[in-house]
Chains A and B, each alone.
Chain A
Amino acid sequence: MAENGKPKLALYWGSSCGGCEIAVLAIHEKILDVAAAFDIVFWPCVMDFKYSDVEAYEDGEIDVCLYNGAIRNDENLHIAQLLRRKSKVMVAFGSCAMEGCMPGLANFKDREQMLQFIYKDSPSTDNPEGVLPQLHVEMPEGDLELPEFWNTVHALDQVVPVEYYLPGCPPEAHWIEIAVGAILSGELPPPGSVIGMSVTVCDECPRTRSEKKITRFYRPQEIIPDPDICLLDQGLFCAGIATRAGCGALCPSVNMGCRGCYGPNEGVVDGGAKLIGALASVLDAKTPEEIDAILDTLPDPAGYFYRFSLAHSLLTRTRLEMEGKAPVASPYAEVPRLDPSLKN
């Protein structure tokens, strides 16, 4: 507690887009309650604090830290560990901190592939000398340093212990209010809890569902879906069947399949595996050829199933060939097909 008796609050962004910072402001005028109730001691997005300010705090002096963003370089890790040490309660705020989210998709590549594309090959890059970021650069004014960029993106709880998780990309305002309210009242759930629901998006979705028999998948640009019928029934990929509820089925309500940003439901180890199990079982096919024909209409299945949860999934990333000390991601370009003899 500060001298004024207010609990101390810190907010930080690791590897993130900044959307979570905006989400904090989406609680509208309640942000004034937050400012009135807490002593904000660190929030680089909106207030002028230095890392040295945080280092100067006593261990455990910060009451609550809302950490958004994934961990993908030395700086993210350093600040995550520093804030963990200084904070009584650490909250993984949003999908990046909870399970890797979009930054985590970099785990389908390795560091060299990422740097090559971002700094050299992407169509919008103009870098004729092929300059890549360096850890140390000597300049006349002194040495410059950049944090090291990793092969593998991590979620927050893979590098420091986390007390609570607030899912969503970004978390919905009413859940932020609930979380802030719980912190202020001291009526917190047991450590390790996800602040959210334990049913799936289908439970909140207003669309009419019938027995599913998918004969092919459509991409959103290929059809105009009926606004009242379950999108999956119409062949549009929807992750709602295996995604935690809490958003109010926002995406399905506007004719877009759920992307899965609230992450796996309570008790699920690997959200992508659950999506595979749920989705494949409703394909309308009984022979390997029919199954392959339907699956051919679903490009990039791993991208659909692990869009938000790759870094926190069981496999975590694509395989690295470890021969020689330089790990290289090794995807197989070929699409595996079922053995025709399975037909019997």
Chain B
Amino acid sequence: MNYSEINPAWGDRSPVIVGFLCNWCSYRAADLAGTSRFGYPATLRDIRIMCTGRLDPTFVIKALREGADGVLVMGCHPGQCHYEEGNYKAMRRMGLLRRTLAQFGVHPDRVRLGWASAAQGVQFAEMVIDMTDDIVRLGPLQWNDTIEDLGVGAFATHEEAVHG
């Protein structure tokens, strides 16, 4: 897929979305989407976590910092968490995280939360398609460009800094 036809900012690269999927529902939905041959864009890099309640906001921020264009967190539907409360915690944390990231200039559409039960392979695939559309429209995040604007010749090695 050549994403630069839709948004030239992509050049020859594709969007990278890091997905944090809960073990009990959404990861199984992803499995189901695969075994059922539901097509969705190859933009998602999925990571299985035991529960969305285990999702430390650090994970999301680190993904964005290290090159992800978006982060998709998916868990069990509210009321159906394997650990009862985990997805509610995730909902609250993502609400606060999205507000915080907006102040950093990260568009809220780049960080999304969704639900899919183990039987909802189609819904999972649709979520990835939908999010990819958003990210393609927004363009690359490329946080490294922001960070590399040091305005200084930062030191390359310890040796160099100590001995000039």
**Hey, which bits of chain A sit against chain B, CB under 8 A?**
59, 71, 74, 77, 81, 84-85, 108, 148, 150-152, 154, 158-161, 269-270, 272-274, 276-277, 279-281, 283, 285-286, 288, 291-292, 295, 298, 300-303, 305, 313-320, 322, 327, 329-332, 334-336, 338-339, 342-344
The interface stretch among B16-24, B33-41, B90-98 is B90-98
Tell me the complex Cα distance, A338–B155, Å.
42
Partner of A277, one of B56, B65, B141: B56
Tell me the complex Cα distance, A40–B89, Å.
53
Nearest neighbor of A317 in chain B, beta-carbon distance: B146
On whether the beta carbons of B103 and A342 are closer than 8 Å, the reply is no
Q: Is B13 an interface residue (CB 8 A)?
A: no
Q: Classify chain B: how many residues form its interface, as a range.
A: 35 or more
Most chain B beta-carbon contacts within 10 A, residue among A292, A322, A344:
A344
Nearest neighbor of B112 in chain A, beta-carbon distance: A339
Most chain B beta-carbon contacts within 10 A, residue among A108, A152, A329:
A152
On whether the beta carbons of A151 and B102 are closer than 8 Å, the reply is no
Task: Give the Cβ gap from A98 to chain B, nearest Cβ, in Å.
Answer: 17
Chain A residues in 8 Å Cβ range of B158: 161
| CB-contacts of B58-115 with A (<8 A) | 58, 60-62, 64-65, 77-79, 88-89, 91-100, 102-108, 112-115
Q: Is B154 an interface residue (CB 8 A)?
A: yes
Tell me the complex Cα distance, A320–B148, Å.
10
**Hey, which bits of chain B sit against chain A, CB under 8 A?**
56-58, 60-62, 64-65, 77-79, 88-89, 91-100, 102-108, 112-115, 141-143, 145-147, 149-152, 154-155, 158, 161-164
Task: Give the Cβ gap from A235 to chain B, nearest Cβ, in Å.
Answer: 15
Partner of B100, one of A59, A272, A342: A272
Contact A342-B96, Cβ < 8 Å, known A151-B151, A161-B162, A276-B57:
no
Chain A residues in 8 Å Cβ range of B142: 322
On whether the beta carbons of A342 and B91 are closer than 8 Å, the reply is yes
On whether the beta carbons of B154 and A342 are closer than 8 Å, the reply is no
Tell me the complex Cα distance, A332–B62, Å.
20
Nearest neighbor of A82 in chain B, beta-carbon distance: B164
On whether the beta carbons of B99 and A301 are closer than 8 Å, the reply is yes
User: Which 10 residue pairs of A and B lie closest in terms of their CB atoms, listed nearest first?
Assistant: A319-B105, A336-B108, A150-B151, A302-B103, A273-B58, A273-B57, A280-B92, A280-B96, A280-B93, A336-B98
Contact A332-B149, Cβ < 8 Å, known A161-B158, A277-B93, A314-B61:
no
Contact A315-B92, Cβ < 8 Å, known A84-B162, A152-B149, A276-B57:
no
Nearest neighbor of B64 in chain A, beta-carbon distance: A315
Task: Give the Cβ gap from B163 to chain A, nearest Cβ, in Å.
Answer: 7
On whether the beta carbons of A316 and B147 are closer than 8 Å, the reply is yes
Nearest neighbor of A304 in chain B, beta-carbon distance: B100
Q: Given A81-B155, A272-B100, output 9 extra A-B contacts at Cβ < 8 Å.
A: A152-B150, A161-B155, A161-B158, A276-B57, A276-B100, A279-B96, A283-B92, A302-B99, A303-B103
Chain B residues in 8 Å Cβ range of A148: 151
Chain A residues in 8 Å Cβ range of B103: 108, 300-303, 318, 331
Chain B residues in 8 Å Cβ range of A344: 77-79, 115
Nearest neighbor of A320 in chain B, beta-carbon distance: B146
Chain A residues in 8 Å Cβ range of B155: 81, 159-161
Partner of A301, one of B100, B113, B146: B100
Tell me the complex Cα distance, A189–B113, Å.
43
Task: Give the Cβ gap from B158 to chain A, nearest Cβ, in Å.
Answer: 5
On whether the beta carbons of B152 and A159 are closer than 8 Å, the reply is yes
Chain B residues in 8 Å Cβ range of A277: 56-58, 93
On whether the beta carbons of A332 and B108 are closer than 8 Å, the reply is yes
Tell me the complex Cα distance, A123–B111, Å.
37
On whether the beta carbons of B162 and A276 are closer than 8 Å, the reply is no
